[in-house]
Structure 1
Amino acid sequence: MIGAIAGDIIGSVYEWHRIKSKEFALFSPRCFFTDDSVLTIALADAILTGTDYGQIMKAYYRRYPGAGYGGRFHRWAKSRDSRPYNSWGNGAAMRISPVGFAFDNLEEVLLKAETFTAVTHNHPEGIKGAQATAVAIFLARTGKSKREIRETIESTFCYDLSRTLDEIRPDYRFNESCQETVPQAIIAFLESTDYEDAIRNAISLGGDSDTLACITGGIAEAFYGGVPEVIREKAMAILDEDLRRVTEAFIRQYVRFNLKEGTVPG
């Protein structure tokens, strides 16, 4: 989960100043946590406490109203009406990483990803994007190879993961849909050599950088067996005390890895 949060924070300064290179300062002095981290931690809180996720999201929204939410989420969070709004936006995938870490079989991961996502993003593409992300994290943390992860995501969700980053990067633009964010984020992980390289891959696409890196970061953390300590410490220091407390509690309770023999954690 900290992998997703760190990806969000690192990508935060490139969302509106997009780059097409892997050469950039990993932590700019202007880095900050966005709605991606806030709603990820809200989900972790809901899982830890068994509290309704919709209620927790609205509570976190009131505590962090300026975190950069989309317009439809703003309206939903401020409304007394808690019905979902049929979104296919990539917000479904950016906040789902706790599910991939907290549940211990594929069927439950799929079910929980759908349940937590459909609170707002009940469009089939929103649910699909969240499920694909959570499943990739689950497979990664339970020791599956990149080939196995690729084949499972392609066969289960019909995402095309055949393109390379070099093929995607030239024409790729900012896109808030799951359809045009989740496959790219997964490919950024698949082409990576370690956690940091995965984050650099995602941001170098020049898209919705914080969300791409958030999605990629959760998968990379799970596959490489963690996040480098210097990155972890810097990300945790940027969170406020309340967000840090929930994050640390979730990590203690749920973040564990079952790596293949010979795998070297990142």
Structure 2
Amino acid sequence: MLQQLQQSFLNSLSTDDPEFLSHLQALNALSAQQTLDIYHQGVISKALKTLKGIYPVCQKILVIEQFNIIASDYIRCSPPQTSDFVPFAAAFVEFITKYCLAVDYSYVKEVARLEWEVYLLLRESDSPELDLEALAQIDTDNQGKIFFHLPTGAVLLQSEYPLDEVMKVNQPDFDGESSVDLNSKEFYFILWRDGWRTCLDRLTQEEWLVLQRIQMKVRFIEVCDYLAINHPSVDITQIFPRLLAQGWIASFDVTNS
């Protein structure tokens, strides 16, 4: 019965379904419609609070008034369908991507995607600590069988905008020059977590290429072969030590598969 009531209430957010109103008739202090409106306002407030919590940089860039308009439009078009607001908040990225923003705010769409990835990253478990001593002890015969792994939940990103600078200048505690050059270029990033600290590190294209192949879960020797054939100018002997030193390689295993 409780599940039926919950679903009836959620349906009433987007339609004029009279079913849930019938459950409120016993509350005589207010009309059924007034009682339902209170319930609706509670869900809408929670939905808006959820979006503001996950997308704070978007909110700061757009200013509260415009963000509230976009978020309210989204809530009206796609109200939450369960008590779990995560799927609801995830779809906001697609909504804001298609929203008619001013040209100057076109980069907000990429910021929204980044903020959603940050939210997911914070829900991931900690990465294992890379055992360099164990790595050094792998014999020559098995070195070609090594699979390296990025930190748990790490995401590789490409963008026309310096997203790291955009995020930095829009933090609540930032004190400095807030202007960012948004002239279209090409940027590469890795988003990962170092303990409880989220890191958005800028990569060179060469570093990004190596990490991309590693993320595809192929043996390291296959990474090297791919680069030798398709990107012969990339010197992995120069790049890989930096990937290790920066913490962008979190673990490895050796397998015959």
Q: TM-score, normalised by structure 2?
A: 0.23
Larger Rg: 2
Higher strand share: 2
